[in-house]
């Protein structure tokens, strides 16, 4: 069992994460060059397939066992009037996930994905981070470990999603602390101008009150448990050589904390989509990631990333299934 019981232990685990398999990546690139298409004509699908092949250690892989993890948490900061919805909605939506009634249930079914929902102490919200850290170190580490351990045996691509009223304020504080600058706050579930001003004020106070600017430090200070669990799942997937498709604003903010610790920590991740939450694109730019889809979604739950599983499948169907020029007797390859 990997020790994840402190920031120091998690840092050691992050430093030990595996790199992609170079031989598989080279073989996949060679195969791509031989397929019956003009070079580069499958656009980003080509690099996507080669990236996936490297992480899986196979030159002709397929996605057979996608997993979607949804983590739910409640936030002390929600009491500051930073969301358009009441905090009870977090638990109510978890019940909806369990009954099969949410958007992510439909998209998981469509992708043939296993869906696991982890509700993290919903009746015990994190502390209001305008007063001090949202979590104690041990609490954040426990949530991180829960995420790390939630990746199922046999999973070959992971989507991480979340549900948590107030968590766009948490994600905004993370982005502000790690990337600096202003303008990270957006409308989340649909706050009005006054709500947006409250979010901005809350984040400014939070940054003044919490001094630690390391990735794990800010995750503990501003993160909900669901953000810590998402970070843990993203890192835990890497430990198992499972590529990850990132979802929207909150998921990317959780991922950003790993990047702040180790610049290569997200090499096994792609951005599934561009959220309509205003600053998501800026966050992806900072990570050097281009989203696969841009559909104006701002739901969370892993919804945009779940749709992007099918884009990855398309890339691999072509890469692994197409004939080469010599196999098909097509001239010019």
Ligand X SMILES: O=C(O)c1ccc[n+]([C@@H]2O[C@H](COP(=O)([O-])O)[C@@H](O)[C@H]2O)c1
Instruction: Please identify which residue in 69, 89, 228, 234 interacts with ligand DMD, judged by CB under 6 A.
Output: 89
Contact present, 283 and 179 (Cβ < 8 Å): yes
Write down the least CB distance from residue 188 to ligand DMD, Å.
9
Query: 130-169 mask for ligand DMD (x: CB under 6 A)?
Result: ---------------------------------x------
> Toward ligand X, which CB reaches closer, 167 or 320?
167
Give the chain's radius of gyration (CA, Å).
Answer: 20
> Toward ligand X, which CB reaches closer, 104 or 258?
104
Side-chain half-sphere CA neighbours of 119 within 13 A:
17
Write down the least CB distance from residue 302 to ligand X, Å.
9
Write the CB contacts of 284 (distance below 8 Å, at least 6 apart in sequence): 252, 271, 274, 290, 291
Instruction: Please identify which residue in 4, 72, 93, 203 interacts with ligand DMD, judged by CB under 6 A.
Output: 93
- Assign 79 to helix, strand or coil: helix
Residue nearest to ligand X (CB): 300
Judge whether 301 counts as a catalytic residue: yes
Phi, psi of 107, deg, nearest 5: -70, -35
Query: 30-69 mask for ligand X (x: CB under 6 A)?
Result: ----------------------------------------
Question: Which residues, 244 to 273, sit near ligand X by CB under 6 A?
Answer: 247-250
- DSSP symbol at 80: G
189 lies in the site for ligand DMD, by CB under 6 A: yes
H-run or E-run covering 68: strand 66-72
Cα 302–chain centre separation = 8
Of 26-34, 79-87, 115-123, 264-272, which part binds ligand X (CB under 6 A)? 79-87
Helices (H), the chain: 7-15, 22-34, 44-56, 88-99, 103-111, 137-148, 167-179, 193-209, 215-222, 225-239, 249-261, 280-287, 303-321, 325-328
Write down the least CB distance from residue 223 to ligand X, Å.
13
Considering CB distances under 5 to 8 angstroms, the limit depending on partner class, which of ligand DMD, ligand X, none binds residue 248? Answer: ligand X
Of 2-10, 28-36, 123-131, 275-283, which part binds ligand X (CB under 6 A)? 275-283
Write down the least CB distance from residue 160 to ligand X, Å.
11
Structure tokens at 208: 């003044």
> Toward ligand DMD, which CB reaches closer, 10 or 93?
93
**For residue 9, how many other CB atoms are within 10 A of its CB?**
15
- Orientation angle between helical segments 249-261 and 225-239, nearest 10 degrees: 60
Torsion of CA 248, 239, 137, 131, to 10 degrees: -10
91 lies in the site for ligand DMD, by CB under 6 A: no
> What would the DSSP string read from start to end of 250-271?
HHHHHHHHHHHH-TTTTTTEEE
Instruction: Please identify which residue in 85, 241, 282, 314 interacts with ligand DMD, judged by CB under 6 A.
Output: 85
Phi, psi of 9, deg, nearest 5: -65, -40
Query: 278-317 mask for ligand DMD (x: CB under 6 A)?
Result: ---------------------xxx----------------
Structure tokens at 98: 């369990």
> Toward ligand X, which CB reaches closer, 35 or 191?
191
Question: Which residues, 114 to 173, sit near ligand X by CB under 6 A?
Answer: 162-169
> Toward ligand X, which CB reaches closer, 61 or 304?
304
Point out the residues that are catalytic: 301
Q: Which residues bind ligand X (CB under 6 A)?
A: 83-85, 162-169, 188-189, 247-250, 275, 277, 280, 298-301
């Amino acid at each position: 069992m990997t020790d994840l019981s402190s920031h120091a232990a998690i840092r050691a685990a992050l430093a030990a994460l595996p790199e992609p398999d170079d031989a598989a990546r080279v073989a996949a690139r060679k195969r791509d060059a031989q397929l019956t298409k003009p070079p580069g004509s499958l656009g980003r699908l080509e690099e996507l397939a080669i990236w996936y092949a490297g992480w899986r250690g196979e030159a002709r892989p397929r996605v057979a066992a996608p997993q979607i993890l949804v983590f739910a948490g409640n936030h002390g900061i929600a009491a500051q009037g930073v969301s358009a919805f009441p905090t009870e909605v977090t638990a109510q939506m978890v019940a909806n996930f369990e009954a099969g009634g949410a958007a992510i249930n439909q998209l998981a079914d469509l992708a043939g994905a296993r869906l696991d929902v982890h509700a993290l102490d919903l009746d015990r919200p994190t502390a209001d981070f305008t007063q001090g850290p949202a979590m104690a170190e041990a609490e954040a580490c426990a949530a991180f470990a829960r995420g790390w351990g939630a990746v199922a045996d046999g999973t070959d691509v992971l989507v991480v999603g979340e549900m948590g009223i107030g968590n766009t304020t948490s994600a905004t504080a993370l982005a502000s602390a790690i990337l600096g600058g202003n303008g990270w706050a957006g409308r989340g579930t649909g706050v009005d101008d006054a709500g947006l001003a409250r979010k901005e004020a809350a984040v400014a106070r939070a940054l003044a009150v919490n001094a630690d600017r390391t990735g794990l430090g800010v995750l503990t200070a501003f993160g909900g448990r669901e953000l810590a669990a998402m970070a843990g799942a993203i890192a835990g997937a890497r430990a198992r050589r499972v590529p990850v498709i990132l979802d929207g604003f909150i998921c990317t903010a959780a991922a950003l904390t790993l990047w702040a610790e180790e610049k290569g920590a997200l090499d096994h991740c792609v951005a599934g989509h561009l959220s309509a939450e205003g600053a998501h694109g800026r966050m992806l730019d900072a990570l050097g990631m281009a989203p696969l889809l841009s559909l104006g979604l701002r739901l969370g739950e892993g919804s945009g990333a779940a749709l992007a599983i099918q884009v990855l499948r398309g890339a691999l169907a072509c890469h692994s299934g197409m004939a080469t020029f010599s196999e098909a007797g097509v001239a010019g390859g």
